[in-house]
C-alpha cells in the first residue's frame, strides 16, 4: 500500500511535465493520465508510514482514521492512566480516602473499600466480594473501562485487519484505472530510457520503411561497446536487401568477431523495430517481424570480452580458460 502511495504521489508531477510537450503522442498520454488522487489520499489517510510486514498483527491503521481504533489504542497504551484517574475521581466524589483500584484474574478490576469507610459507599457501587477487612465493588464505569482495557489489543488487531481489507477492496474496484495509469507510466519509462541512451551513447535515428533494405553505417554492438574501453570497439557497415543481396557469408578465425557482428545487426534491427535510436551513424531498416538465429548457447560474448579486456587501463592479459587456446596480446 505504501509503495503504491509513493508511486501515485508522483503522478501529478509527471502530468505537469507532460503538459508542456508538443509531441502528439505525449499530449495524448497527458490527457489520458489519471492522477488517482482519491486512491493516494485514501492510503495516505489510512495506512501508517512504516506498517508491519504482516497484515494480521495490527499497527496498520493511522491514528485519526477510525475513532474506535483510536480508543482501543488508547486503551492499550493508556489503560493504567485511566485507572489512576478513575481512582482519584472516585476518592474525591465518595470521600473514601483509602479507596483503591485492584485486579485479579477471577473478578477483573474492582474498587476496594476497608470496613471503616463502608458507610460512605454510594448506591451505584455493586458489591463483588467480601473479605475479612474490606469489601470489593464494581461500577458501571469501571466495567466499561475493564472491557476496553482487557479486550482492547485483540479488538484493535481484528478491527484494523477488517478496515485494511475494506481499503484494499476499495482500491481493487479501481484496478482498471490503476492499470491504465501504470501502462502510461511504463510507456514514459521506455521513452525516457530510449532518449537517455540515445543521447549518452550517440545513437542515430533509424529510417524504418517497407523497402526491404537493411543499410547500416558504422554499426556497433550496443552491449559489447559498453564493456570495452572508450573507442575500442570497431564499427562495421552492413547492407542487405530482399533482391540481390539477401545473403552474406562471414568467415574468419575464432575470436575474430563473427558472432558479435551477426548479433550486432540483429540487435540494431530489433531496436529500430521497437522505436529506439540505434548504435550507428545512420541506419535504414526495413520492417521486420522475425529474426532467426543459430548461435551456440554457450557463446557468451559479454563474458568473453570481460576476460579479454580485464584491466582497467584497457590492455589485455594472457588468458587460459579450460581447454581453449591461450590468447595473448590481443587488442
User: Which 3-state string (H, E, C) describes the chain?
Assistant: CHHHHHHHCCHHHHHHHHCCCCCHHHHHHHHHCCCCHHHHHHHHHHECCCCCCCCCCCCCECCCCCHHHHHHHHHHHHHHHHHHHHHHHHHHHHCCCCCEEEEECCCEEEEEEEHHHHHHCCCCCEEEEECCCEEEEECHHHHHHHHHHHHHHHHHHHHHHHHHHHHHHHHHHCHHHHHHHHHHHHHHHHHHHHHHHHHHCCCECCEEECCCEEEEEEECCCCHHHHCCCCCCCCEEEEEECCCCCCCCCCCCCCCCHHHHHHHHHHHHHHHHCCCCECCCEEEEECCCCCCCCCCCCCCHHHHHHHHCCCCCCCCCCECCCCCCCECCCC
Is 329 a domain residue?
no
Query: Are 283 and 244 found together in one domain?
Result: yes
- In terms of pLDDT, which residue wins out, 136 or 331? 136
Query: Are 169 and 258 found together in one domain?
Result: no
Residue-wise pLDDT for 7-41, tens only, equals 999 999 999 999 988 999 999 999 999 999 999 99
Query: Are 22 and 163 found together in one domain?
Result: yes
Mean pLDDT of 208-226: 93
In this prediction, residue 298 carries a pLDDT of: 62
Q: Report yes or no on whether pTM surpasses 0.85.
A: no
Query: Are 215 and 300 found together in one domain?
Result: yes
Q: Which cell numbers hold the place of 259?
A: 558472432
Q: Report yes or no: 318 and 274 within 8 Å, Cβ to Cβ.
A: no
In this prediction, residue 297 carries a pLDDT of: 61
Q: Which cell numbers hold the place of 62?
A: 493511522
Query: Are 166 and 45 found together in one domain?
Result: yes
Query: Are 302 and 282 found together in one domain?
Result: yes
CATH no. for residue 53? 1.10.1420.10
Proportion of the chain above pLDDT 70, given as a percent = 89
Query: Are 214 and 275 found together in one domain?
Result: yes
Range with the poorest average pLDDT among 82-86, 172-176, 220-224: 82-86
Sign of CA dihedral 40, 46, 52, 56: negative
215 φ, ψ (degrees, to nearest 5): -130, 100
Is 75 a domain residue?
no
Query: Are 87 and 120 found together in one domain?
Result: yes
Query: Are 270 and 236 found together in one domain?
Result: yes
Query: Are 181 and 225 found together in one domain?
Result: no
pLDDT-derived band at 299 (thresholds 50, 70, 90) equals low
8 φ, ψ (degrees, to nearest 5): -65, -30
CATH no. for residue 230? 3.40.50.300
Domain that holds residue 227: 204-308
Which of 138, 173, 197 delimits the end of a domain? 197
Quote the CA–CA distance of 155 and 161 in Å, as a whole number.
Answer: 10
Residue-wise pLDDT for 257-296, tens only, equals 888 899 999 999 999 999 999 999 999 999 998 998 877 6
Q: Which cell numbers hold the place of 15?
A: 502530468
Asked whether the predicted pLDDT for residue 300 surpasses 70, the reply is: no
Q: Report yes or no: 119 and 125 within 8 Å, Cβ to Cβ.
A: no
In this prediction, residue 173 carries a pLDDT of: 96
Asked whether the predicted pLDDT for residue 104 surpasses 90, the reply is: no
Is 100 a domain residue?
yes
Is 327 a domain residue?
no
Query: Are 285 and 245 found together in one domain?
Result: yes
Amino acid at each position: 500500500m505504501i509503495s503504491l502511495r509513493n508511486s501515485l504521489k508522483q503522478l501529478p508531477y509527471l502530468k505537469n511535465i507532460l503538459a508542456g510537450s508538443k509531441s502528439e503522442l505525449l499530449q495524448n498520454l497527458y490527457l489520458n493520465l489519471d492522477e488517482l488522487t482519491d486512491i493516494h489520499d485514501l492510503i495516505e489517510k489510512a495506512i501508517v508510514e512504516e506498517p508491519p510486514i504482516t497484515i494480521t498483527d495490527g499497527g496498520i491503521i493511522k491514528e485519526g482514521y477510525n475513532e474506535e481504533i483510536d480508543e482501543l489504542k488508547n486503551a492499550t497504551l493508556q489503560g493504567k492512566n485511566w485507572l489512576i484517574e478513575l481512582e482519584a475521581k472516585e476518592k474525591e466524589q465518595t470521600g473514601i480516602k483509602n479507596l483503591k483500584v485492584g485486579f485479579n484474574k477471577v473478578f477483573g478490576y474492582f474498587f476496594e473499600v476497608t470496613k471503616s469507610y463502608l458507610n460512605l459507599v454510594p448506591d451505584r457501587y455493586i458489591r463483588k466480594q467480601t473479605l475479612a477487612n474490606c469489601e470489593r465493588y464494581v461500577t458501571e464505569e469501571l466495567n466499561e473501562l475493564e472491557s476496553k482495557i482487557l479486550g482492547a489489543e485483540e479488538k484493535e488487531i481484528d478491527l484494523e485487519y477488517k478496515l485494511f481489507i475494506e481499503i484494499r477492496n476499495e482500491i481493487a474496484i479501481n484496478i482498471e484505472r490503476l492499470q491504465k495509469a501504470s501502462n502510461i507510466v511504463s510507456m514514459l519509462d521506455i521513452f525516457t530510457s530510449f532518449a537517455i541512451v540515445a543521447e549518452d551513447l550517440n545513437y542515430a535515428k533509424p529510417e524504418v520503411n517497407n523497402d526491404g533494405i537493411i543499410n547500416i553505417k558504422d554499426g556497433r554492438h550496443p552491449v559489447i561497446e559498453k564493456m570495452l574501453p572508450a573507442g575500442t570497439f570497431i564499427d562495421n557497415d552492413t547492407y542487405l536487401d530482399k533482391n540481390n543481396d539477401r545473403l552474406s557469408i562471414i568467415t574468419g578465425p575464432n575470436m575474430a568477431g563473427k558472432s558479435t557482428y551477426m548479433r550486432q545487426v540483429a540487435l540494431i534491427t530489433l531496436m529500430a523495430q521497437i522505436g529506439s535510436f540505434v548504435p550507428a551513424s545512420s541506419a535504414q531498416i526495413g520492417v521486420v517481424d522475425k529474426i532467426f538465429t543459430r548461435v551456440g548457447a554457450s557463446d557468451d560474448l559479454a563474458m568473453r570480452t570481460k576476460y579479454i579486456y580485464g584491466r582497467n587501463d584497457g590492455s589485455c592479459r594472457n588468458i587460459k580458460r579450460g581447454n581453449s587456446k591461450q590468447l595473448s596480446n590481443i587488442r
